Amino acid sequence: MRPISNSFIPNFEKDDISLILKLLFRPRLWQKGKFIEILEKTFTRKFSFKYSFAFNSGRSALLAILKAIELKENQEVFLQSFTCNAAVNPILALKGKPVFVDLDQNLNLSPDDLRKKIELSKKPKAIIVQHTFGWPSQIEKIKKIAQEKKLFLIEDCAHSLGAKYQNQYLGKFGDISFFSFGRDKVISSVYGGIAATDSDRLARKISSFQKKLLWPNNFWTCQNLCQPIIFSISLPLYNSFNLGKILLYLARKLKLIAPAVYQVEKKGKLAKVFPKKMPNALAILALHQLKKLEKFNQHRKKIAEIYLKELKGKRGIKIVFQERENNYQPIFMRFPILVKKRREILKELKKRNIYLEDGWSETPIVPKGSNLKKFFYQENSCPKAEKIVKEIINLPTNIKVSEKEAKKIGEMIIKFSSLD
């Protein structure tokens, strides 16, 4: 049986792999090319923005945004805890100060804690509002606070491409927003991201920043083209005498694939490859995946319904996303649950070839190993986030998980959470 996971090339299907194989043999298409602009135009049209700018990652797009709003030394940027270090490093790169805000009941930024922390702030500049795992944040309340305090509102839509609030795409509520096409995101080009806005002024600044950037070198682009190929060869062999695991280990050691987070990034520094322009080859991949966005997100909703049906009301299991207000149109990039026996459940699932450790747990700035001090994170400053990271399991909703498998995962979770 092939492994089930949140992280093993969850969005790449046969057609993506054959596209990548063709691209691998055409290095002339890797760096510059017309598809970068085509991606930007397609994105702009599809999500009704006035402007979109492609970069080699969401973190590069965020850096461009922070430059555009002219973030200065010691100015404070408010963002939620339970976020990725990739969303914090661009603030540190400009010598800004991240201030972490605790969570609401949906793993999103709490407007009440935000207000409290802004009141204590000396140099507030901007709020970054993340829509965790594709569930819309309390954007109206947060927007009101941003307007009252005259702060820039940046939407972190790394998890929420295609999700809506009141029939409007997320990303359209703030001054400016960014999206990620990272390996385990809503759609994927292994690495890639977009900054999007309706503001002429911010767009002018982002555009001039983007023009000055270099492209990543061809080795990096090649690593990212190779990543889905190497995974698609390794995964069917994952447990045949550990052959797949060995292949992946070697590919990482030999640097045939790039990591999702570089080691320096866990210490509060940007890796050298950020910020850079979007490579043409990855733009081709992103465009191809964008065509499948509705299919992917429909599937995610269907799988989430199955988990909800299986797990609702079961002892020892708390479902995080369960409100059913009509104005919320989430996309469930994951289906998080809270359990008491997290480690034991993950261990049992692993024995059955289900790998749900996706990095989004154990620490309020993910992934594990991120040095909290380097990110100015003060222990106990976000008690809710610090508690949930010890209890969370993120169930997979990606296109590789069938309805039957989702039902089975639900049954297993119930079984293992009631074991003594």
Ligand X SMILES: Cc1ncc(COP(=O)(O)O)c(C=O)c1O
Query: Does residue 63 bind ligand X (CB under 6 A)?
Result: no
The one among 83, 110, 297, 397 contacting ligand X by CB under 6 A: 83
64 vs 247 by CB, closer to ligand X? 64
Nearer to ligand X by Cβ, of 180 and 297: the residue is: 180
Residues 6+ away with beta carbon under 8 Å from 269: 89, 92, 93
Q: In this complex, which beta carbon is closest to ligand X, that of residue 193 or of residue 330?
A: 193
- Rg of the Cα atoms in the chain: 20
How near is the Cβ of 178 to ligand X at its closest, in Å?
A: 7
Q: Which residues between 218 and 247 bind ligand X (CB under 6 A)?
A: none
**Cα–Cα dist 279/220, whole Å:** 10
Best CA proximity match to 218, nearest among 280, 263, 287, 284 = 280
Return the range that interacts with ligand X (CB under 6 A); candidates 2-10, 83-91, 94-102, 336-344.
Answer: 83-91
Q: Measure the CA angle with vertex 216, ends 212 and 217; round to 5°.
A: 125
Q: Please state the closest distance from residue 158 (CB atom) to ligand X, in A.
A: 4
Q: Which C-beta is closer to ligand X: that of 79 or that of 406?
A: 79
List all residues 6 or more positions away from 333 whose beta carbon is below 8 Å from its beta carbon. Answer: 133, 134, 159, 160, 185, 186, 300, 397
Residue with Cβ nearer ligand X (165 or 238): 165
Among 20, 66, 86, 406, contact with ligand X (rule: CB under 6 A): 86
Residue 90 is a binding residue for ligand X (CB under 6 A): no
Quick check: 162 binds ligand X (CB under 6 A)?
Answer: no
182 contributes a contact to ligand X by CB under 6 A: yes
Q: Is residue 160 near ligand X by the rule CB under 6 A?
A: no
Kindly report the backbone phi and psi dihedral angles of residue 329, in degrees, each rounded to the nearest multiple of 5, phi listed first.
Answer: -125, 75
* CB-neighbour burial class of residue 180 (10 A; exposed 0-12, middle 13-18, buried 19+): buried
Query: Rule CB under 6 A: is residue 180 a binding residue for ligand X?
Result: yes
Q: Which helix (H) or strand (E) holds 327?
A: none
190 in contact with ligand X (CB under 6 A) = no
Write the CA distances from 210 to 68, 92, 207, 315, integer angstroms. 11, 20, 5, 51
Kindly state the number of chain residues that form the binding site for ligand X, as judged by CB under 6 A: 14
CB count in 10 Å sphere of residue 116? 13
Q: Which of residues 125-154 bind ligand X (CB under 6 A)?
A: 130
- Closest CB 131 distance from ligand X, rounded Å: 9
> Which one, 86 or 382, has the nearer CB to ligand X?
86
Structure tokens at 240: 């045949």
What secondary structure, in 3-state letters, does 278-305 show?
CCHHHHHHHHHHHCCHHHHHHHHHHHHH
The piece of 55-63, 142-150, 303-311, 346-354 that touches ligand X (CB under 6 A) is 55-63
Neighbours of 208 (CB within 10 A): 12
Cα dihedral across residues 87, 90, 93, 98: positive or negative: negative
**Which one of the spans 5-13, 54-62, 275-283, 407-415 is the region binding ligand X (CB under 6 A)?**
54-62
Using CB under 6 A, which of 84, 163, 229, 304 touches ligand X? Answer: 84
Stretch that binds ligand X, among 81-89, 262-270, 332-340, 345-353 (CB under 6 A): 81-89
DSSP assignment, residue 322?
Answer: -
Within 10 Å of residue 172's Cβ, how many Cβ atoms?
A: 18
Q: Residue 330 interacts with ligand X (CB under 6 A)?
A: no
- Residue pair 331/161 in contact (Cβ under 8 Å)? The answer is yes
* Residue 393 binds ligand X (CB under 6 A): no
Distance from chain centroid for Cα 335: 14
Which one of 156, 175, 310, 358 is in contact with ligand X (CB under 6 A)? 156
Q: How far is the CB of 79 from ligand X (least distance, A)?
A: 9
Shorter beta-carbon distance to ligand X: residue 35 or 82: 82
Q: Is 334 in the site for ligand X (CB under 6 A)?
A: no
Binding interface with ligand X (CB under 6 A): 57-59, 83-84, 86-87, 130, 156, 158-159, 180, 182, 193
